Amino acid sequence: MKELDIEALVDNLDTVIAFIDEELEEAACPPKIQMQIDLAVEEIFVNIANYAYDPETGPATVRAEVHPDRSAVSITFIDHGVPYDPLAKADPDLSKSAEEREVGGLGIFLVKKTMDDIRYEYVNGSNILTIVKGLKK
Amino acid sequence: MNIIQERNADQLTLKIEGRIDTKTAPELDQVLQGALEGVKKLVFDLEETAYISSAGLRVLLIAQKQMNKQGEMSVIHANGDLMEIFEVTGFTDILVFE
């Protein structure tokens, strides 16, 4: 297991992605799955950076754990900002036309669609969000 | 991310190289704001685009809404991994892919 403690700023996104990619490359993750995991990590980290401590900033922890048999990876995001369960948000209505569709709100929906599991809990003042993704093709 | 603009009469093609993410999408948005005047056909060439997140999807949807008012828009050469992102978000129903 590896852990990155970092200020929750959009400017730090590249550092977070590089941290995750290093773990995934070590685990021989297929490129397509790596792209999907990068995407989920971006959406979650940017959400924390934009909303958890707004208008201030604060710390986040990103923890990556490749399962011992390299079959999957679990990535956990921890922040100490306002309680926020991203899974409680309604999914966008995909049946709407381009005109009717709202331009935002796709981030967490993409995470739900591309990851195998996503769990949220609020414990002792911390938001803890964990995603799990299989690493086999 | 690199954006290569090709303007041919009232057609504008934007070839996007690299990643369209939270940090780069605002630049694409800005280029679009300044480039769409008089454009009747807007083409996004994503052959060299390796990655798109919701921030990029947002910019494409804003462009589609604008082009609905003044012409047409299409997305070409998106690879299979990107197409999956467009599919799960319903973008294959609201954008034109060639």
pLDDT in tens, A66-103: 999 999 999 999 999 999 999 999 999 999 999 999 88
Cβ-defined contact of B65 to A10 (cutoff 8 Å): no
Query: pLDDT tens digit string along A33-51?
Result: 999 999 999 999 999 999 9
Cβ-defined contact of B61 to A101 (cutoff 8 Å): yes
Q: Which CATH number fits domain A2-134: 3.40.50.1820, 3.40.50.300, 1.10.3720.10, 3.30.565.10?
A: 3.30.565.10
Query: pLDDT tens digit string along A48-67?
Result: 999 999 999 999 999 999 99
pLDDT band with cut points at 50, 70 and 90 for residue A105: confident
Q: How far apart are CA B7 and CA B4, in angstroms?
A: 10
pLDDT recorded at residue A103: 85
Cβ-defined contact of A42 to B64 (cutoff 8 Å): no
Domain boundaries, chain A: 2-134
Alpha carbon of residue A116 to chain centroid? 13
Instruction: State pTM to two decimals.
Output: 0.95
> Is the pLDDT confidence value at B14 over 90?
yes
pLDDT recorded at residue B19: 97
Q: Is the ipTM of this complex over 0.90?
A: yes
> Considering the domain B2-94 in this protein, what is its CATH number?
3.30.750.24
Q: Which amino acid is at B8?
A: N
Please enumerate residues of A whose Cβ is less than 8 A from a Cβ of B.
Answer: 10-11, 13-14, 31-32, 35, 38-39, 42-43, 46, 92, 94-99, 101, 103-104, 106-107, 109-110, 113-114
Question: B23, B48 in Cβ contact below 8 A?
Answer: no
Q: If DSSP codes are grouped into helix, strand and coil, which group holds residue B18? A: strand
- H-helix segments, chain A: 13-26, 31-47, 107-114
Closest CA to A83 of A53, A49, A115, A127: A127
Residue written as tokens 């008012």?
Answer: B69
